[in-house]
Amino acid sequence: MQGDVYGQPLYLATAGGRDLLLVATEEDLVYALDTRSGAVVWRRSLGSPAPLSRLHCGIAPLGVTGTPVIDAATRTLYLDAVVTPDGISRRHLIFALSVDDGTVRRGGRWTWRPWCRPGACASIPRCRTSAGGSC
């Protein structure tokens, strides 16, 4: 895996399929690992993380810091990532990914402007966030 991991990796048991460990890194990469073999099942890049030169805090690069959340009913992983789409500006994006293959769900990317990094909680169909974190 590429990048530091600050959020809790998440375990997802599947009926009749392979169990997964879902891990998000500060490089804005999300991995699904097979819990038996450790093999990468899928890998998704969410964009370019914010470099230290664009930050006022010490985590560098700054990508996915918080713990994602799984909605088991829809098999969706929700997480917040800091991205730098143009190499200069930084944006917080909330992503919704399929736990089965890592694809971004239709309509599964939202921009928001927090004062602090969020922690996400599953309250579907509403997405609620709470402030707290490193920057």
CA distance linking residue 50 with residue 86, whole number of Å:
10
Phi, psi of 35 (to 5 degrees): -70, -20
What is the residue-averaged pLDDT of the chain?
Answer: 82
The DSSP element (H or E) to which 69 belongs, if any, is strand 69-71
**Residue whose pair of structure tokens reads 């699904």 in the numeric block:** 32
Percent of the chain as helix, strand, coil, to the nearest 5: 0, 45, 50
- Structural domains in the chain plus CATH codes: 10-131 (2.40.10.480)
55: confidence class by pLDDT, cuts 50, 70, 90: low
pLDDT greater at residue 100 or residue 17: 100
| Tokens found for residue 46 | 């969410």
User: Is pTM, for the whole model, over 0.95?
Assistant: no
For residue 106, is pLDDT > 50?
A: yes
pLDDT greater at residue 22 or residue 125: 22
For residue 40, is pLDDT > 90?
A: yes
3: left (phi over 0), alpha (psi -120 to 50) or beta: left
Q: What is the pLDDT of residue 100?
A: 93
